[in-house]
Amino acid sequence: MKTAVYPGTFDPVTNGHIDIIERASKLFDRLYVLVGENPQKETTFTAEDRVEMLKNALKKHSSRVSVEHFEGLLLDYAKKKRSNVIVRGLRAISDFEYEFQRAQFNREFAKDIETIFIMTKDDYAFLSSSIIKEIAMFGGSVKGFVPEIVEKKLKEKFRK
């Protein structure tokens, strides 16, 4: 059985992430979407909210995809899930250096875990969770860029 993990902060999940999940799920028997913390970033949504939004957005998707929160090192969690593949999305050349460094680091510490990259669909190449939050914060529409549940949660958050 081929198992992969797709980690991210997902603060919040965008349609760019959903596209990667849909495409990655066709390549593996089981895909764990892992909601984690990047210590360099403070999140807008709590871990529970981020997991809930992902679960809601993926409820009509394959039962081979599951969403979990994780703490600690990604490599340790991937091993716990018996996964030897890490999936990451690549949007543009600007992502490359950052992702290259992380993939190299991960390989150094776990030789049997491979990182694979899926190129983001053109339509989402410019998307990021930060830009979505910035638009929503100033009352702009994010329709079509994020799942409906995220649109609703962003409205609630920034109305306050």
CB of 156 to ligand COA, least distance (A): 19
- Contact with ligand COA (CB under 6 A): which of 16, 30, 65, 153? 16
Backbone angles phi, psi at 2, to 5 degrees: -90, 120
- Whether the upstream peptide bond of residue 12 has omega within 30° of 0, thus cis, is yes
Nearer to ligand COA, 56 or 79 (CB): 79
Alpha-carbon gap, residue 14 to 69, rounded angstroms: 17
- Cα–Cα distance measured from residue 49 to residue 44, given in angstroms and rounded to the nearest whole number: 10
Closest distance to ligand COA from the beta carbon of 72 (Å): 7
Build a one-symbol-per-residue string for 97-136: x at contacts with ligand COA by CB under 6 A, - elsewhere.
Answer: -----x--xx-------------x---x--xxxx------
20 binds ligand COA (CB under 6 A): yes
Amino acid (one-letter) located at 60: K
Provide the 10 A C-beta neighbour count for residue 98: 10
CA distance 101 to 106: 9
Please say whether the beta carbons of 87 and 5 come within 8 A: yes
Query: For residues 43-82, which are near ligand COA according to CB under 6 A?
Result: 73-74
Active site residue 41: yes
CB of 11 to ligand COA, least distance (A): 6
Q: Which of 123, 102, 128 is nearest to 114 (CA)?
A: 102
Q: Which amino acid is at 107?
A: R
Cβ proximity to ligand COA, 28 vs 124, nearer residue: 124
Interface residue list for ligand COA (CB under 6 A): 7-9, 11, 14, 16-17, 20, 36-38, 41, 73-74, 89, 91, 102, 105-106, 120, 124, 127-130
Active-site residues: which are they?
Answer: 17, 41, 91, 129
